[in-house]
Amino acid sequence: MVQNITIVTDQYGKETEEQIRAEAASQLGVEQQRISAVLLIKKSIDARRGKLKVNLRYAVYVDEQPPAVSVKPLVLKQADPSKSVIIIGSGPAGLFAALKLLESGIKPIILERGPDVTARKRDIAMISREQRVNPDSNYCFGEGGAGTYSDGKLYTRSKKRGEISSVTGVLYEHGADERILTDAHPHIGTDKLGDIVQKIRERIISCGGEVHFSTQVMGITKDIHKNVTGVITDEGIGFPAKAIIAATGHSAGEFYEMLQSAGVTIEAKPFAVGVRVEHPRTLIDSIQYHGMNPGTLGAATYTLKAQVGERGVYSFCMCPGGIVVPSATDDDQIAVNGMSPSGRNTRWSNAAFVVEVTPDDIPAEFGGPADPLCGLRYQRFLEHEAKEQGKGQKAPAQRMTDFVSHMPSRKLPETSYAPGVVASRLDLWIPGHITKRLIKAFRFFDTRMHGFLSDKAVLIAIETRTSSPVRITRDPQTLEVLGIGGLYAAGEGSGYAGGIVSSAMDGQAIASAVAARLLQ
């Protein structure tokens, strides 16, 4: 028999397993020896009325054993070289598409514009050291895509448990901690992702797949019936193919332009623009825990959202105990993002605060709402503006209190952003439809989290890449793109997915459609 109990404690993490079992036995009225396991299924924090309480929900196993954590191991076949598919990009969508193809014995040939994880690490260090961005090797491009130096939060809005575990199971099989299989909010941590990605690559190669680094796809070739025949790389090398999966992520602007001029149907879609907000971690912890963390709760998180006029303003990718990172993909831009190490133990906590931007919000000079690439151009313009306001990769920044009262920041607080920050009037140069809403939202959020609107908080600009401004339209039946036969778009860059898990699941779904076509 399995029964659930709730224990309320102000000493979270200090109770022994023995004490929890004794409490479970007393609540259920059974002898303690009959309890074989107590498993934590939910933790919620209640810091109202000046007291911190942690509500812990446990599943108690009486006279029976809990099921072992079950992971369906990947069963891959040796690739048949006569059946191959080109995958452009080695992010979560590309890697999980490759594994899915290998389940059917189809050979994936991955072409990745950036280098492997090891070389990429050096280029990422260079951004802060030399204030330069390598356009092929940065926080977004290179082995593992934007997923490798990401935060590794594995949250998704998808409710398809089976499909989610097909992603978390693979990550676990390649080195991630077992907890990601059971945690309600699984997090891998940026320090662990590189090894996992390399192991997945080795697995693909061991089954006969190919991975070509520093190989940028510049064009798609097609026959007179508008079916793909292959790709052309930056070195003019042709790779023949009957099917291609483009998993290039949403930072590959020039790839969208190439697809559009090749006749592929692309649509503008809503995206979001804003800033990274960084607070001292102790401040967020004391707001969320009312200054009563028994020392065992870890860095506090938050989720905030507001409706300001007709647009939503919301926190995104909250990184407790994390850092703000430079995620531009070219030297003429500044774009920021955030991540946490697995210990979530830096002195800061940050989150993106972004405002919804629809094609109708975009000024006509960027092409107008009917132009599929208007959002992409607007995004580039804002990132270029941020570069003009910053210095090298030093990002423009303003104290939160100065931002809301339209004042310059004379001195900025210390931040985690390694390239450095320069004081800038974000309230003046970020477009008004964004700043006005951010200001209203920050005031409102302060009523939800007293102390959130603080002179210790700093806004770092600009956050433009929380989602894709473009969608590559799919045929609902075949999932092919419209315009070229045999071409598929997967992951975040397709505009149908966002985040690690959903991009990986999309890569799997697209690979299944390709496999069905090749094997019919």
CB of 168 or CB of 327, closer to ligand FAD: 327
CB of 251 or CB of 349, closer to ligand FAD: 251
Rounded-to-integer distance, Cα 239 and Cα 108, Å: 12
Contact 255, 248 (CB under 8 A): yes
Rounded least distance, CB 140 to ligand FAD, Å: 5
Rounded least distance, CB 346 to ligand FAD, Å: 14
Rounded-to-integer distance, Cα 401 and Cα 398, Å: 8
* Continuous segment of H or E residues that includes residue 162: helix 161-173
Which residues in this chain contact ligand FAD in the complex, by CB under 6 A? 88-94, 111-114, 139-142, 145-147, 149-153, 216-217, 247-249, 251-252, 255, 317, 325, 327, 337, 339, 491-493, 498-500, 503
CB of 134 or CB of 251, closer to ligand FAD: 251
The three-state secondary structure class of 459 is strand
Q: Please, how many CA atoms are within 13 Å of residue 476, restricted to the half-sphere of its CB?
A: 0
Residue type, 22: A
CB of 190 or CB of 409, closer to ligand FAD: 190
CB of 150 or CB of 333, closer to ligand FAD: 150
Rounded least distance, CB 425 to ligand FAD, Å: 26
Instruction: List alpha helices for 274-425, DSSP H.
Output: 281-289, 374-389, 400-404
Rounded least distance, CB 490 to ligand FAD, Å: 7
CB of 62 or CB of 232, closer to ligand FAD: 232
* Closest among 506, 500, 517, 415 to 461, alpha carbons compared: 415
CB of 151 or CB of 285, closer to ligand FAD: 151
Rounded least distance, CB 143 to ligand FAD, Å: 7
Strand order in the sheet with 2-9: 2-9, 53-62, 35-46
Q: What is the DSSP letter of 360?
A: G
Rounded least distance, CB 96 to ligand FAD, Å: 8
Identify the burial level of 10 via C-beta atoms within 10 angstroms of its C-beta, where 0-12 means exposed, 13-18 middle and 19 or more buried: exposed
Contact 398, 424 (CB under 8 A): yes
Rounded least distance, CB 134 to ligand FAD, Å: 11
Contact 188, 171 (CB under 8 A): yes
Rounded least distance, CB 150 to ligand FAD, Å: 3
CB of 27 or CB of 158, closer to ligand FAD: 158
Q: Could you identify the residue written with the tokens 């089954």? A: 207
CB of 150 or CB of 409, closer to ligand FAD: 150
The three-state secondary structure class of 115 is coil
CB of 89 or CB of 392, closer to ligand FAD: 89
Rounded-to-integer distance, Cα 40 and Cα 489, Å: 40
CB of 219 or CB of 483, closer to ligand FAD: 219
Reading the block at residue 418, the tokens are 């390694």
How big is the CA angle at 312 (ends 311 and 318), to the nearest 5 degrees? Answer: 150
Rounded least distance, CB 262 to ligand FAD, Å: 13
CB of 20 or CB of 108, closer to ligand FAD: 108
Rounded least distance, CB 154 to ligand FAD, Å: 7
Contact 398, 409 (CB under 8 A): yes
Task: Say how many C-beta atoms besides its own lie within 10 A of residue 387's C-beta.
Answer: 23
Rounded least distance, CB 183 to ligand FAD, Å: 14
Rounded least distance, CB 418 to ligand FAD, Å: 13
* Continuous segment of H or E residues that includes residue 427: helix 426-429
Who contacts 514 (Cβ-Cβ below 8 Å, separation ≥6)? 85, 97, 101, 106, 243, 245, 488
Rounded-to-integer distance, Cα 382 and Cα 274, Å: 10
* Closest among 76, 79, 88, 82 to 107, alpha carbons compared: 79
